[in-house]
Amino acid sequence: MARMCGQRPDVYLVVTDLAGGGVGHATRSQATILHNTGHKVTILTTHENVTADKVDNEYALGKVPREVPIRNLQQELGTRPPEFANDYRWAEGWVEAILGSARKGSVIVANYPAIAQMIGRANLPGIRKLWVLHNNVFDAPDFTPTSAVRANYARGLESARDLDGLLILTQQEFDDMTTHVRPMAPMYVVPNSTAVLPEPHTQRDPNLVVAFGRFEPQKAFPEAIRTFKLVVAQRPEARLEIYGRGKLRHDLKALIESEGLSNSVIMKSYTKNPHGVMARAMCMMMTSDYEGQPLVILESHMMKTPLATYAYRYGPETMIEDGVNGRVVPWRDRQALANAVIDLLDRPETVEAMGTVARQRAIAEYSPEVIAKAWIRVFRKVKLRSS
């Protein structure tokens, strides 16, 4: 994407850890998109000491442009003094000092709830303050507006009166927030983006299903494992490969063994080549309890690999039209999900047709060029109200 000309506001992206997790990858994508549209971009990291050389450049969204400086709190200030309760309190003065010489009308973007609180408190006259909500704000038991707002997001939303705008990843969450939360700041929809990757030409494994994610409760991998038991009952040759890392690895391996699936469900390590894995699978399966707008869906679509997924909030019902570019079934309906997976395994021509549509829509709706326009529209609309 060629850089656009013209005067544009300087942008400061604030994140905890730039290298790992969906938020880190999304922040890297933000940096690339905004840099390529003519903005002077600076990344500020509050926790992990990650330089450009340390960022995992092979996963998901590619390199941060070399022209984009990455500044780290610990690297610049050393060890946190004991009078500060946490790194966010400590970072407040650091951010104020950095933006003290920033051009008026510049924008600071928080990519984490506690960072939203921090920039809300910070004295940044003339700087517009935005917060990207990277996840579903609603709590258990069903992670919908019938539940309370999760504690960390509730604290972040309390600071909305001190912000100039909230950026929401999907229209579905925007609508839920408008009706049930009514935050004290204007909201705008700006989805995540995915790089336009080369079209795959990999031979698919006719028995392979894949899944990706952190081995943590949110991803609900026990649901995937128990669902796949239903798949194997009808398709004994089917295999599920689960890629990731996290604290629940041993628990998941124990579940696989207890369900008698050791030959059918394989726990894999984190991979630096998820796209190659996706391209050789018949489909990808997701059973999360909640998300924001998963980048992994867009990446799978780029590889022309359809999903079979629960209709958790948020992402599947926005990015997937059931039966057209993937399969979406009711949340926690294992049998329906198993049937969807089996249907895809049994119909390779359907996989190819859905995959073609999935890639076309991912490019048309979520490419960097498209999402860049959404950012530009927000910057034109957002008024300074936080000073």
The pTM of the full predicted model, rounded to 2 decimals, is 0.93
pLDDT-based confidence at residue 56 (cuts at 50, 70, 90): very low
| Across 203-211, average pLDDT | 98
312 preceded by a cis bond (ω within 30 of 0): no
115 shares its domain with 237: no
**By C-alpha distance, which of 366, 57, 243 is closest to 18?**
57
Q: How is residue 118 written in tokens?
A: 């921090």
Question: What is residue 4's predicted lDDT score, i.e. its pLDDT?
Answer: 44
pLDDT-based confidence at residue 204 (cuts at 50, 70, 90): very high
118 belongs to a structural domain: yes
302 shares its domain with 358: yes
260 shares its domain with 178: no
304 shares its domain with 269: yes
Coil, strand or helix: which one is 250? helix
Host domain of residue 240 = 208-365
pLDDT-based confidence at residue 6 (cuts at 50, 70, 90): low
CATH assignment at residue 276: 3.40.50.2000
Question: What is residue 332's predicted lDDT score, i.e. its pLDDT?
Answer: 98
Q: Which of 21-30, 130-139, 171-180, 336-345 has the lowest mean pLDDT?
A: 21-30
3 belongs to a structural domain: no
260 shares its domain with 140: no
Angle between helices 348-366 and 334-346 (to 10 degrees): 110
6 belongs to a structural domain: no
97 belongs to a structural domain: yes
Per residue in 270-293, pLDDT (tens digit) is 998 999 999 999 999 999 999 999
Angle between helices 113-121 and 151-158 (to 10 degrees): 20
Domain count, the chain: 2
What b-and-e string marks burial along 318-338, b requiring 16 or more CB atoms within 10 Å of the CB? bbbeeeebbbbbebbebebbb
Q: How is residue 212 written in tokens?
A: 């990706």
Per residue in 223-255, pLDDT (tens digit) is 999 999 999 999 999 999 999 999 999 999 999
Q: Tell me if 316 sits within 8 A of 325, measured CB to CB.
A: no
Per residue in 331-384, pLDDT (tens digit) is 999 999 999 999 999 999 999 999 999 999 999 999 999 999 999 999 999 998
pLDDT-based confidence at residue 1 (cuts at 50, 70, 90): low
d(CA 127, CA 243): 41
